[in-house]
Amino acid sequence: MNSGRRAVARAHANIALAKYWGKADDVHNVPAVTSVSVTLEALTTTTEVRFDPSLAVDRLELDGREAEGRALERVTALLDRVRRAASIETRARVASRNSFPTGSGLASSASGFAALAIAARSAAGLELDRDRASDLARRSSASAARSIHGGFVRLRAGEPGDAFLPAEPVAPASHWDLRVVVAVTTKGPKKVGSTEGMGHTARTSPYYPGWIALCQRLSAEVERAVLARDLRALGEAAEQSALAMHACAMAAGPALIYLEPSTLGCVHAVRAMRDRGVAAWATIDAGPHVKVLTTGGDAERVRQELASLPGVVDTIVSRVGGDATVELEEA
Ligand code: 2P0
């Protein structure tokens, strides 16, 4: 009945200003801490989903190439939830494309699973319900729950066994014309994935309880600073959140080190810029790249300085992005 429907969704990546690192429940993928993010206009995933009765299994194309293995399994797990909700059994063709280099270590799972959740629900004939789409995306990748919304977004810490936990908008993109400069740095050996990394940190880092306690304060500070459009307060809280997350991971046994020399070079350069009166604060996710929070007026200067540093291979300047969107067509 829904087999002729084709849905195309677009979602932007996001970066956490107050980081998520640690789960309250591995099975239901429930975060142990509240995170607050900003959606990035410049990093977009476009995903097409079409349920096709001629298929025996789901098919996945990523940036024009047929994908199998773990990537396909994760897509099928999300599609299975949609099929259950829509009472259908039809397999789907999924084609997904990133506007940024895939494999660059930029947050493609956030925009990817957000776009997939929205497109799959629409193609299956379910209504555009952002809470349900966000909860669905969270089960595949917690940060993806936040990419359903534009602007500034909160994903609350949950309790073990939480059945329904969608992200919530804090303020729309129009609230604040903030800029984020991404410094793409040279990559070292293959990083440990976030899920595995945060599990290892929770099990072995003596700083994990301190991290959990800190997150409560920092997520509230980040949210207050966003609502007040106070870049200094936001930058200080965001920088502390990122560096505390990495300190906690580095204290794990064995140590989990995502920072490369080029990463630290960027962080020091950002601090030096600040000493010269430039509005710039750094944040780092589970990889070597650095994202810098700044103003429209300082963004180009920050970008040029970062681009001149050793190990920085690319820079991207982004505005705050909007909501994930979907278009539905009868094929
Ligand atoms: C974040 N990260 O808040 C943090 C900061 C990375 C560092 O959310 O296990 O791929 O699939 O829920 O969403 C990346 O984690 O983790 C992430 P899972 P996900 O953005």
What does residue 22 show for φ and ψ, rounded to 5 degrees? 130, 140
pLDDT tens for 205-250 read 999 999 999 999 999 999 999 999 999 999 999 999 999 999 999 9
Q: Which of 171, 199, 130, 135 is nearest to 17 (CA)?
A: 171
DSSP letters spanning 267-292? HHHHHHHHHTT---EEE--SSS-EEE
- CATH for 6-172 is 3.30.230.10
Kindly give the distance from the C-alpha atom of residue 53 to the centroid of ligand 1, in angstroms, as a whole number.
34
Substitution candidate for ligand 1 out of 28, 143, 162 with most atoms within 8 A of CB: 143
Asked whether the predicted pLDDT for residue 77 surpasses 60, the reply is yes
Q: Which of 147, 187, 143, 177 is nearest to 314 (CA)?
A: 187
How far is residue 39 CA from its own chain's centroid?
A: 8
- Calculate mean pLDDT across residues 66-81: 97
pTM over 0.75: yes
pLDDT attached to residue 3: 52
Parse the chain into domains and list their residue ranges.
6-172, 179-318
pLDDT tens for 136-148 read 999 999 999 999 9
pLDDT attached to residue 189: 67
Let me know: does 297 contact 317? Beta carbons within 8 Å.
no
34 in ligand 1 pocket by Cβ < 6 Å?
Answer: no
pLDDT attached to residue 108: 78
106 in ligand 1 pocket by Cβ < 6 Å?
Answer: no
Task: Assign a CATH topology to domain 179-318.
Answer: Alpha-Beta Plaits (3.30.70)
